A and B are shown apart, each in its own frame.
Chain A
Amino acid sequence: MDNSGQLFPKLPLAEWIEAFVDFLTTYFSALFDTVSTVIEFVTENFVLLMELAPPIVLIILIALLAWWAVNWKLGLFALIGLGLINNLGYWPELVETISLVVISVLISMIIGIPIGIWMSQKGSVQAIITPILDFMQTMPAFVYLIPAVVFFSLGMVPGVVATIIFSMPPTVRLTNLGIRQVDQELIEASNAFGSSTGQRLTKVQIPLAMSTIMAGINQTIMLSLSMVVIASMVGAPGLGTVVYRAVTQVAIGPGFEGGLSLVILAMLLDRITQGANKN
Chain B
Amino acid sequence: MSTIKVDKLTKIFGRRPKQAVKYLEENKSKDEILELTGMTVGVNQASFEVQDGEVFVIMGLSGSGKSTLVRMLNRLIEPTSGDVWLGDENITEMNKEQLRDMRRKKMSMVFQNFALLPHKTIQKNAEYGLEIQGIDKEERAKKASEALELVGLGGYMDKYPSELSGGMQQRVGLARALANDPEILLMDEAFSALDPLIRKDMQDELMDLQQSVHKTIIFITHDLNEALRIGDRIALMKDGSIVQVGTAEEILMEPANDYVERFVEDVDLAKVLTAGHVMKRAESISVDRGANVALRLMKDSGVSTIYVVDKKKKLLGYVTADEAAKAAKEDKGLSEVLISDIPTVQTDTLLADAFEPMADDKAPLSVVDEDGRLVGIVVRGSVIGALAGNDDVLNGNGGVGING
Q: Is the CB of B115 within 8 A of A194?
A: no
Q: Which of B99-157 contact A (CB under 8 A)?
A: 100-105, 107-109, 111-113, 115, 117-119, 128-129, 131-133
Bound complex: CA A208 to CA B118 (Å) = 8
**A-chain residues with CB within 8 Å of residue B74 when the two chains form the complex:** 192
B103 CB contact (under 8 Å) in A186, A191, A208: A191
Q: Is the CB of A194 within 8 A of B104?
A: yes
In whole Å, how far is A187's beta carbon from the nearest beta carbon of chain B?
9
Q: Is the CB of B111 within 8 A of A193?
A: no
Contact of A204 with B117 at beta-carbon distance under 8 Å, contacts A191-B103, A194-B100, A194-B133 already known: yes
The interface size of chain B toward A, counting residues with CB under 8 Å, comes to: 27
B129 CB contact (under 8 Å) in A185, A188, A194, A207: A194
**B-chain residues with CB within 8 Å of residue A203 when the two chains form the complex:** 117, 128, 131-132
A193 CB contact (under 8 Å) in B71, B112, B180: B180
**A-chain residues with CB within 8 Å of residue B133 when the two chains form the complex:** 194
In whole Å, how far is A197's beta carbon from the nearest beta carbon of chain B?
10
**B-chain residues with CB within 8 Å of residue A204 when the two chains form the complex:** 117
- Is A138's beta carbon under 8 Å from chain B? no
- Is A226's beta carbon under 8 Å from chain B? no
In whole Å, how far is A146's beta carbon from the nearest beta carbon of chain B?
46
Q: Is the CB of A193 within 8 A of B76?
A: no
Q: Is the CB of B132 within 8 A of A189?
A: no
Annotate B9-35 by CB proximity to A: 1 below 8 A, 0 otherwise. Answer: 000000000000000000000000000
Q: Is the CB of B111 within 8 A of A185?
A: yes
Annotate B230-265 by CB proximity to A: 1 below 8 A, 0 otherwise. Answer: 000000000000000000000000000000000000
Q: Is the CB of B119 within 8 A of A193?
A: no
Which bucket holds chain A's interface residue count? Answer: 10 to 19
**B-chain residues with CB within 8 Å of residue A183 when the two chains form the complex:** 115
Q: Is the CB of B103 within 8 A of A185?
A: no
Closest partner residue, chain A, to B101 (CB atom)? A194
In whole Å, how far is A252's beta carbon from the nearest beta carbon of chain B?
51
Contact of A188 with B180 at beta-carbon distance under 8 Å, contacts A193-B128, A199-B132, A203-B131 already known: no
**B-chain residues with CB within 8 Å of residue A192 when the two chains form the complex:** 74, 76, 103, 107-109, 186
Bound complex: CA A76 to CA B71 (Å) = 56
**B-chain residues with CB within 8 Å of residue A208 when the two chains form the complex:** 117-119
**A-chain residues with CB within 8 Å of residue B101 when the two chains form the complex:** 194
Contact of A193 with B108 at beta-carbon distance under 8 Å, contacts A188-B76, A199-B132, A203-B131 already known: yes
A188 CB contact (under 8 Å) in B108, B111, B131: B111
**B-chain residues with CB within 8 Å of residue A193 when the two chains form the complex:** 103-104, 108-109, 128-129, 132, 176, 180
Q: Which of A153-206 contact B (CB under 8 A)?
A: 183, 185-186, 188-196, 199, 203-204
Closest partner residue, chain B, to A204 (CB atom)? B117
Q: Is the CB of B115 within 8 A of A186?
A: yes
Bound complex: CA A199 to CA B74 (Å) = 18
Q: Is the CB of A189 within 8 A of B111?
A: yes
Using a CB–CB distance below 8 Å, which chain B residues touch chain A?
71, 74, 76, 100-105, 107-109, 111-113, 115, 117-119, 128-129, 131-133, 176, 180, 186
What are 14 A-B interface contacts by the 8 Å CB criterion?
A186-B115, A188-B71, A191-B76, A191-B103, A192-B74, A192-B107, A193-B104, A193-B132, A193-B176, A194-B105, A195-B100, A203-B128, A203-B132, A207-B119
Using a CB–CB distance below 8 Å, which chain A residues touch chain B?
183, 185-186, 188-196, 199, 203-204, 207-208
Given contacts A193-B104, A193-B129, A194-B129, 15 further A-B pairs with CB under 8 A are: A185-B111, A185-B112, A185-B113, A186-B117, A188-B111, A188-B115, A192-B103, A192-B107, A192-B108, A193-B109, A194-B101, A195-B100, A203-B117, A203-B131, A207-B117
